[in-house]
Structure 1
Amino acid sequence: MAANTPQKLLYFVFVSLALPLVLNCKGQYEHFRNHESVFKEYQPYFEHEGSNMSTVAGQDVSFQCGVRNLGDRYVSWLRASDSQVLTTGWTKFTGDRRVKVIPADRSHTWGLGIRNVTPSDTGFYLCQVNTEPKITLRFHLSVTKSFAFIPGNNERYVQTGSQLELKCRISKTVLPGENPPIIEWTRNGTLEPRMGNHVRSSPAVFNKAQNSVESTLRIDSVTLDDSGIYKCTSNAASEATVTVLVTSGEQRAAIVEENSGRSGHSNLNKYLVVVCGLLPALLLHMRVTIDHITSPSVLSGLSGPTTQKIVSSRLMVPSK
């Protein structure tokens, strides 16, 4: 027993010294394996496939490119339309301030962000690793500019004291995670907050049933000063306009009377045109009929006063 004691002691010392080294080596191996191995036999590869993204102008977008076993290589982002290198590693190579690189840091994902996109940003974007040969992951971005419109007539006649409601609608889907674009209202160039306390607008919301983004402008008690050209504008769509004409009771009656008078004159003119157009045809039809009934074949069977009346009526028709 005493002879085995030194051997056990040496074995214990050996294990105590060797175990940390073994664990450290295993930790280093896992570090290289999980945090982009520098060993040449580990080739980089993408964690997923490329994707397509659709959005409206004015939104912020980002692409995520997961790369494993990157090692001492670099991830670059390129714009395919003009082969412009946007970023390489942590470095940005474009002067476009909207573009930013999202480095992997402690993850395996390298991201590309673009703020306030426009339709000109539509196209393919490439995530590329500088291996031999290079490996590339393709992403497609589609940016559309919606058209804003205000349902109803382009001109609105409103009486003083009544309520006015205008709705601005942008026919565009808002993707999950996106914020609806901002919609602003103006009257003759004046923004909604300065139109008066009786004027208010609702924030833009996504209407899933209508597949549109909407904002409503309300005027509780309309005054004559509320007349003007109203516009709804957004960075995601072209502007829409409507003209609002506010009238008092006397002005409204005068407008209705004037429009009624114009309508009566218009109808009379239409009748005169129709009559004048048909008059020559009626006269020609009468002449043909009289020529037929006064022909010798018809008059041969007639005599007396009836014949004299027909001949007399024929002489009254002027010849061409």
Structure 2
Amino acid sequence: MAQCYLILFVLFMYSGSLEGASKRFFTDFLQELPTPGTGGPTFDSTVPANITGLVGKTVKLVCRVKNLGNRTVSWVRHRDIHLLTVGRYTYTSDQRFEAMHSPHAEDWTLRIRYAQRKDSGIYECQISTTPPIGHSVYLNIVEPITEVIGGPELHINRGSTINLTCIVKFAPEPPPTVIWSHNRQVINFDSPRGGISLVTEKGVLTTSRLLVQKAIQQDSGLYTCTPSNANPTSVRVHIVDGEHPAAMHHGGVSPNCRLSHALLLLLSLAITFRLHHKIRWKSSKKLSST
């Protein structure tokens, strides 16, 4: 009888150890296996992996993970192998970086506020599998350039058309709006002045052309082009009577250009004279030989 109790006790202890081992097996091994029928966590490749942001603006890097299960998602900066976020927590002293995630959502977002040029580079979204798997996102922080052709000073003949062309380049997207102002006042295209029109063409290179017909003295002053997603730029317009000593915006020729034309004429004359002299010398030499 005692031997039976001993056997039952051993079986009970053995079953307890099996239960513990089973729990450890599920904890240490099976949790790393993909959920049946799902194939394990994967990255959504349809999310853009090349992001362009503006200096001083907020940028968001999105990593979309399917079938994550009980694993975690982290963001790592390649430049210095710096761990930025783990799950919904931020692990950097730079307060411009922040982890963003909504419960039960597939998107794990790294938000960068007040982006700087130095933030450009590769960032990797990592899943805590064994071994970890990652998805790289390239960030390019740019500072758009706004310029007015012919600036910063333009001289326009009175009575002619003021033609100002503003160019916006290196912007991640065309500016939604481009505003022109004259002496810090937004130009009113319906004003009694009349003869003012604007033509804007949006694209990789956005151009905005301001036309002011029959220029008068009151049209002189500072004209400013302000794109909605780039820095403004200005040009000062002078309305003059007749040709101005400086380069004219319409029909004028600069002194440097006149000098170039004169030098070109002298060079052409010199070449012509030398060729003519050489031909005469050859002709005289042929006659003497005969």
Give the TM-score normalised by structure 1. Answer: 0.52
Uncovered stretches (5+) of structure 1, i.e. residues with no partner:
1-38, 186-191, 294-320
Residues 242 and 282 of structure 1: CA distance in aligned 2, closer, same or farther (over 3 Å): farther
Q: 2: CA distance between counterparts of 1:147 and 1:279?
A: 53
Secondary structure, aligned partner of 1:107:
coil
Q: 2: CA distance between counterparts of 1:148 and 1:203?
A: 17
Q: 2: CA distance between counterparts of 1:93 and 1:203?
A: 50
Would the aligned equivalents of 1:204 and 1:213 in 2 still touch at CA under 8 Å? no
Per the alignment, residue 180 of structure 1 pairs with 175
Uncovered stretches (5+) of structure 2, i.e. residues with no partner:
1-25, 35-39, 190-195
Q: More helix by proportion, 1 or 2?
A: 1
Secondary structure, aligned partner of 2:274:
helix
Would the aligned equivalents of 1:182 and 1:204 in 2 still touch at CA under 8 Å? no
| Structure number with larger C-alpha Rg | 1
Q: 1: CA distance between counterparts of 2:130 and 2:253?
A: 82
Secondary structure, aligned partner of 1:81:
coil
Q: Which amino acid aligns with 2:288?
A: D
**RMSD between aligned residues:** 5.2
Secondary structure, aligned partner of 2:43:
coil
Q: 1: CA distance between counterparts of 2:91 and 2:66?
A: 21
Corresponding residue to 1:281 among 242, 261, 278:
278
Give the TM-score normalised by structure 2. Answer: 0.56
Q: 2: CA distance between counterparts of 1:100 and 1:203?
A: 42
Q: 1: CA distance between counterparts of 2:182 and 2:154?
A: 22
Per the alignment, residue 291 of structure 1 pairs with 288
Secondary structure, aligned partner of 2:282:
helix
Secondary structure, aligned partner of 2:266:
helix
Q: Percent identity?
A: 23
Per the alignment, residue 183 of structure 2 pairs with 194
Would the aligned equivalents of 2:41 and 2:68 in 1 still touch at CA under 8 Å? no
Per the alignment, residue 46 of structure 1 pairs with 41
Per the alignment, residue 75 of structure 2 pairs with 77
Task: Please give the per-residue CA displacement for 1:187-230, whole angstroms capped at 9, x wherever unaligned.
Answer: xxxxx4634565889999772xx543344445566456867897
Residues 48 and 281 of structure 1: CA distance in aligned 2, closer, same or farther (over 3 Å): closer
Would the aligned equivalents of 1:78 and 1:85 in 2 still touch at CA under 8 Å? yes
Q: 1: CA distance between counterparts of 2:82 and 2:198?
A: 38
Would the aligned equivalents of 2:76 and 2:83 in 1 still touch at CA under 8 Å? yes
Secondary structure, aligned partner of 1:273:
helix
Per the TM alignment, residue 160 of structure 1 is displaced from its structure 2 partner at its CA by 2.2
Residues 172 and 130 of structure 1: CA distance in aligned 2, closer, same or farther (over 3 Å): same
Aligned runs of 1:80-119 on 2, under 5 Å? 80-115=78-113, 117-119=115-117
Secondary structure, aligned partner of 1:287:
helix
Q: 1: CA distance between counterparts of 2:175 and 2:253?
A: 45
Per the TM alignment, residue 83 of structure 1 is displaced from its structure 2 partner at its CA by 0.9
Corresponding residue to 1:212 among 205, 216, 240:
205
Would the aligned equivalents of 2:44 and 2:65 in 1 still touch at CA under 8 Å? no
Would the aligned equivalents of 1:159 and 1:246 in 2 still touch at CA under 8 Å? yes
Q: Which amino acid aligns with 2:167?
A: R
Per the TM alignment, residue 159 of structure 1 is displaced from its structure 2 partner at its CA by 1.4
Q: Which amino acid aligns with 2:175?
A: P
Would the aligned equivalents of 1:74 and 1:129 in 2 still touch at CA under 8 Å? yes
Matched, 1:249 2:235: no
Would the aligned equivalents of 2:184 and 2:222 in 1 still touch at CA under 8 Å? no
